[in-house]
Structure 1
Amino acid sequence: MNATGTPTGDPESCQLLAAGGHSRLVLLHYNHSGRLAGRAGAEEAGLGVLRGLFVAMSCLVVLENLLVLVAIASRMRSRRWVYYCLVNITLSDLLTGAAYLANVLLSGAHTFRLAPAQWFLREGLLFMALAASTFSLLFTAGERFVTMVRPVAESGATKRGRVCSFIGLCWLLAALLGLLPLLGWNCVCAFQRCSSLLPLYSKDYILFCVVVFAFILATIMVLYGAIFRVVRANGQKAPSTPARRKARRLLKTVLMILVAFVVCWGPLFGLLLADIFGSNVWAQEYLRGMDWILALAVLNSAVNPIIYSFRSREVCRAVVGFLCGACLRLGLRGPGDCLAQAVEAHSAASNTDSSLRPRDSFRGSRSHSFRMREPLTSVSSVRSV
């Protein structure tokens, strides 16, 4: 890059590199964006330390979500729609950690050995995983809104089929969003339209992603606000204190969800907006914290299973039972009686499942007006939002 910030190669040579899929095209775009400035000596050593921290964090995200996923699949006997939503959120967060791990391992000097298609695939898989996690949160909020605020009487098979269809739609939209640059929405050889943070991505595409994610956040807030108003109204009408405790518990859970989302995603939104609307010189000078900010967004995938899973007593029992069972199979004993805890968790889950069957059969014999109140009871029994 020369003093004026223009690319060192002419457009014809850039087009030849793009047509041949040469890795030099990636280097050319990074050089124009200013991302190569200062990549030498002590800073490279610092990047190695940071890369180690990011690898450890991504492994934590993967292991945490894998634990919850296996515990839910092996210990929870209930197959209500909430089960499928929890599995979907956990799976998307697990893939987010795996995609971020691959992104970190293929960064640094490995970046300039990648062909343009490989670079788009590396970044696109991370975008796709993050989008799938976010879409999963939106779908869960929407399903809870429909169940609690606009209940519709339908069979369990119909409900599960609809839930699975929408889960498939979430993944389809996430894949489309993440792979749009690979399909052609990019700025290859159009340097003036390129992002400074993601040098082969078009600023228009990044703005589109920011608008989509901001819309998702606003929609989640509206849906959970409506859910909370319904639960609070029911709690005020009920003379017993348990209903009010459920309303307060729901409020705490909703606040945790929104605060975690805003804290983890807010800095990334701000950084991307600054990259889109700021000058290239300003971006090259001040927008160098993307690694930490992106890591913070990925960290939301480690917070999600804590909020969505461990706020559910049934899922918490499943995780504790799975861990205790694994310890017993390995011949380990903790300071407490792990065997007793595992048996208690297993029996509690069994009692929960057995108690659900009489209620389901009882509901089937009731009138339609009673069934309209069913989702509020079923959701509150799970105690997760």
Structure 2
Amino acid sequence: MNATGPPAEAAESCQELAAGGHSRLIILHYNHSGRLAGRPGPEDGGLGVLRGLFVAVSCLVVLENLLVMLAIVTRMRSRRWVYYCLVNITLSDLLTGAAYLVNVLFSGAHTFRLVPAQWFLREGVLFAALAASTFSLLFTAGERFATMVRPVESGATKKGRVYGFIGLCWLLAGLLGLLPLLGWNCVCAFQRCSSLLPLYSKQYILFCVVIFALILATITALYGAIFRVVRANGQKAPRSPVRRKADRLLKTVLMILVAFVVCWGPLFCLLLADIFGSNVWAQEYLRGMDWILTLAVLNSAVNPLIYSFRSREVCRAVTGFLCCCCLRLGLRGPGDCLARAAEAHSEASTTDSSLRPRDSFRGSRSLSFRLREPLSSISSVRSV
């Protein structure tokens, strides 16, 4: 099969296949992009044992975020805006793992049995889930910044804005993922097609890369502004809890940003090389695409770990939930799981009751000693 370019009759055939929504359109585009090079044919899946590893990674992401979300919903009594941000982030990361699992299961030889609409849906859902995860991080940082600059705000206004931003987050993510299905693609326009995603237009991929890069820059700017405010208040009283909170915040922000850059950086570089490089160069790195995409998905597994270990309230919720599950199964862990569950439940109740007077900024104390810990650590508790 020719991998350098379709002849004129192939272009005419492509239009006919596109009009009928035939699965052979997928083969035609993959052949032109060079994705079939080195395979005996489209029937060769090309994943082998690696597919099991990718399935395991996606299951890890799903189970990890499901655990954290169930723990938050069942064990955290607080229902402030922090609660909804936590649920939104874990839900988007959970769907990222599920979308990646579907993507892996329907890849390989299954790819060439899909009609174009199914192919666009397979890739689009994964793009949408990844976008929802990054939008959730952006929304959380923005809401935390808004809370600091406008501490006195009615509950109804706050709740309405949180709901609105969560809805906007999912709307934009879904729209971004479905744009190729809605028409922004390169069907039968082979010169505009990506080598890594053969039915996606290079302009669309560049648009996505720019969007994600702007999200990262905005998150960095917001957390930088939050840190400067907390740091400035900490310098006024160097031995106060605010100073220790600023140091803790810096470590958490660095963990979030480093995890984002490490997980997403290689994918950004590969997509940019695909956009601006030649097809011959891109084909040399096609084998690494599966690993690079898996690394980006792993960011959805790293996020709940950061939130759980950097927030005492979430950590207690997860510990209490696991202990309750162990007790219902008749299992006991080190140090008597029953005692651990009771202690976690008691501490969570105490924390919740002690939060109520702290959540109000209408007291008479100075602002520098009333700042709650910014959500870069995803915590609504004063942690030191």
Give TM-score scaled by structure 1 length. Answer: 0.93
Partner amino acid, structure 1, of 2:189:
A
CA contact (8 A) 2:319 2:344 kept: yes
Which position in structure 1 is the counterpart of 2:200?
201
State the distance in 2 between where 1:14 and 1:70 align: 48
Higher mean C-alpha displacement, 195-204 vs 351-360: 351-360
State the distance in 2 between where 1:74 and 1:381 align: 17
Which position in structure 2 is the counterpart of 1:57?
57
The alpha-carbon deviation at position 52 of structure 1 amounts to: 0.4
Does 2:343 align with 1:344? yes
Q: Residues 36-115 of structure 1 correspond to what in structure 2 (within 5 A)?
A: 36-40=36-40, 47-115=47-115
State the distance in 2 between where 1:245 and 1:358 align: 21
State the distance in 1 between where 2:46 and 2:112 align: 19
Which position in structure 2 is the counterpart of 1:292?
291
The alpha-carbon deviation at position 153 of structure 1 amounts to: 1.6
CA contact (8 A) 1:153 1:371 kept: no
Does 2:136 align with 1:131? no
C-alpha distance after superposition, 1:116-161 (max 9, x if no partner): 000000000000000000000011111111112x124212232122
State the distance in 2 between where 1:359 and 1:217 align: 31
The alpha-carbon deviation at position 27 of structure 1 amounts to: 0.7
Higher mean C-alpha displacement, 373-382 vs 192-201: 373-382
Does 2:33 align with 1:33? yes
State the distance in 1 between where 2:177 and 2:61 align: 20
CA contact (8 A) 2:46 2:108 kept: no
Which position in structure 2 is the counterpart of 1:157?
156
| 1:8–1:32 distance in 2 versus 1, CA, 3 Å | farther
The alpha-carbon deviation at position 245 of structure 1 amounts to: 1.4
State the distance in 1 between where 2:280 and 2:263 align: 27
CA contact (8 A) 1:311 1:383 kept: no
The alpha-carbon deviation at position 11 of structure 1 amounts to: 2.1
Higher mean C-alpha displacement, 233-242 vs 317-326: 233-242
Which position in structure 2 is the counterpart of 1:262?
261
Which position in structure 2 is the counterpart of 1:376?
372
CA contact (8 A) 2:249 2:374 kept: no
| 1:125–1:4 distance in 2 versus 1, CA, 3 Å | closer
Partner amino acid, structure 2, of 1:105:
L
| 1:10–1:3 distance in 2 versus 1, CA, 3 Å | closer
C-alpha distance after superposition, 1:170-192 (max 9, x if no partner): 00000000000000000000000
State the distance in 2 between where 1:173 and 1:295 align: 23
The alpha-carbon deviation at position 244 of structure 1 amounts to: 1.7
The alpha-carbon deviation at position 314 of structure 1 amounts to: 0.4
For this pair of structures, how many residues does the alignment match? 379
Partner amino acid, structure 2, of 1:376:
R
C-alpha distance after superposition, 1:197-252 (max 9, x if no partner): 00000000000000000011111111111111111111111243422211110000
| 1:287–1:8 distance in 2 versus 1, CA, 3 Å | farther
Runs of 5+ in structure 2 lacking a partner? none
State the distance in 1 between where 2:78 and 2:123 align: 37
State the distance in 1 between where 2:137 and 2:7 align: 42
| 1:363–1:296 distance in 2 versus 1, CA, 3 Å | closer
Partner amino acid, structure 1, of 2:346:
S
The alpha-carbon deviation at position 372 of structure 1 amounts to: 9.7
RMSD after superposition? 2.2
Which position in structure 1 is the counterpart of 2:272?
273
Partner amino acid, structure 2, of 1:222:
A
State the distance in 2 between where 1:267 and 1:378 align: 29
Runs of 5+ in structure 1 lacking a partner? none
State the distance in 2 between where 1:124 and 1:153 align: 40
State the distance in 2 between where 1:214 and 1:188 align: 27
Which position in structure 2 is the counterpart of 1:141?
141
Higher mean C-alpha displacement, 230-239 vs 297-306: 230-239
CA contact (8 A) 1:236 1:244 kept: yes
| 1:232–1:84 distance in 2 versus 1, CA, 3 Å | same
State the distance in 2 between where 1:75 and 1:338 align: 16
Give TM-score scaled by structure 2 length. Answer: 0.93
User: SS at 2:48's partner residue?
Assistant: helix
State the distance in 2 between where 1:12 and 1:90 align: 47
Higher mean C-alpha displacement, 318-327 vs 334-343: 334-343
